[in-house]
Amino acid sequence: MKKLMVFGISFASCMVVFLMTIFIFKEPITNYLVSNNNLKLVGVLYGKNTLYDVVARNNYISYKKDIDGNVISGSVSSDNVSNDKYEKEILEKDDSTEGYKFINIEINGYKSYLIAIYDPSKVKLVSSRWFNRGNTGQQTVIDICKRYNGKVCINGGGFQDFGLGSDIPMGYVIEDGKITWDSEGKSKLVGFNYDNELVLMNATGEEAIAAGVRDALEFGPFLIDNGEIIVPKEESAGGYGGAARVAIAQRKDGIVLFLVTEGVHSKGPTIYEVAETLKKYGAYTAGNLDGGASSSLVVNGKMINHPLNIYGELINGGRGRSVVTGFGYIE
């Protein structure tokens, strides 16, 4: 009995020391864990709200390893295709399209479109013809995609909006390793490095380029990292409720996913529902892009979704809003 009491006292003392340590040194511990991609442990020790806050403020890049060359080269065998419904939809290729697959899905009752791109090296940043030229530079995603000879394109980064839009990007724009639009301070960057890995980074353009980023634009929030959803389920957070949505993701096998949903004003999938859907399809990393009236998916020169204004009317006769940046599947 005495030994048991001694053990109990010792255990309790250790727990007190442990708890005091993790709370006294909360900031350096959480920063270290997030920078080393130990997201689950942060959630266990401090709760998901702390995880979201630390991820949002940390300057880090998530590098993906073990990209499956068989998938990227287009030589997926029957052995690679599992019995999982979502895996089958991604890995069973469509012979009628080359290099990508178009998948119709539904998110919370809203028609949505998922594109699987099998070679991440062909996913590039695309941008309008020029920036900050008196509102003459922005273009629809249809026109941007045509300029780049793209097969599939989506809109991406935000831009200053004075009621009629503008050709002034918000945050840094990096294209082919060069800063094409400068900004002050750090940006929440979503893009690709030279290893063709989707990266999520809070950084200046110079820091991103030094870290090996080839293409990036600013938007957010970050949705998934290391296969874990890193946005709250609650819709009360600003901008997290229902709307037309656009997102980009990458699976651990290297396959890139474009996701665009229908919606109008405050009706459409929530941020969490988008993240949850992408995770079902194997997303290992994902970032939210500019949605709402800007949402655009162009495949072979045609607008696939139906961008609507707050009155539920088609924007620009169905051609979509003029924007400044996005991502495209460029041969």
Among 33, 57, 81, identify where a domain stops: 57
Give dist(CA 81, CA 89) in Å, integer: 9
For the CA atoms of 69, 73, 74, 75, the dihedral, rounded to the nearest 10 degrees, stands at -60
Q: According to the model, what pLDDT value does residue 38 have? A: 55
* Domain assignment present for 63: no
Mean pLDDT, residues 226-250 taken together: 88
Which of the four pLDDT bands, split at 50, 70 and 90, describes residue 76? Answer: very low
Mean pLDDT, residues 68-93 taken together: 65
* Domain assignment present for 62: no
Among 29, 57, 85, identify where a domain stops: 57
Does residue 197 come out as left (phi exceeding 0), alpha (psi in the -120 to 50 range) or beta?
beta
Give dist(CA 234, CA 42) in Å, integer: 19
Q: Do 163 and 297 belong to one domain?
A: yes
Strand-pair category, 110-117 with 100-107: antiparallel
Q: According to the model, what pLDDT value does residue 74 have? A: 41
Q: Do 74 and 222 belong to one domain?
A: yes
Q: Do 133 and 212 belong to one domain?
A: yes
pLDDT above 60: residue 120? yes
Domain region containing 33: 2-57
* Total count of domains within the chain: 2
Percent share of the chain, pLDDT over 90: 63
* Domain assignment present for 186: yes
Q: Do 153 and 298 belong to one domain?
A: yes
Q: Do 128 and 242 belong to one domain?
A: yes
* Domain assignment present for 53: yes
Give dist(CA 29, CA 32) in Å, integer: 5
Which of the four pLDDT bands, split at 50, 70 and 90, describes residue 233? Answer: confident
Q: Do 117 and 259 belong to one domain?
A: yes
* Domain assignment present for 237: yes
The tokens 């990266």 sit on which residue? 199
Q: Do 22 and 103 belong to one domain?
A: no
Q: Do 115 and 221 belong to one domain?
A: yes
CA 296 to chain centre: 15
**pLDDT top residue among 78 and 275:** 275
Q: Do 21 and 137 belong to one domain?
A: no
Which of the four pLDDT bands, split at 50, 70 and 90, describes residue 229? Answer: very high
What are the pLDDT digits (tens) for 251-277? 999 999 999 999 998 899 999 999 999
* Domain assignment present for 64: no
Q: Do 46 and 84 belong to one domain?
A: no
pLDDT above 50: residue 84? yes
For residue 239, CA distances in Å to 122, 153, 220 come to 31, 23, 10
What are the pLDDT digits (tens) for 127-181? 999 898 777 788 999 999 999 999 999 999 999 876 666 889 999 999 999 999 9
* Domain assignment present for 126: yes
State which amino acid sits at residue 308. L
CA 220 to chain centre: 7
Tell me the sheet residues that pair with 70: none
Give dist(CA 190, CA 325) in Å, integer: 12
Model pTM score: 0.79
Q: Do 142 and 261 belong to one domain?
A: yes
* Domain assignment present for 136: yes
Mean pLDDT, residues 289-310 taken together: 96
Q: Do 19 and 140 belong to one domain?
A: no
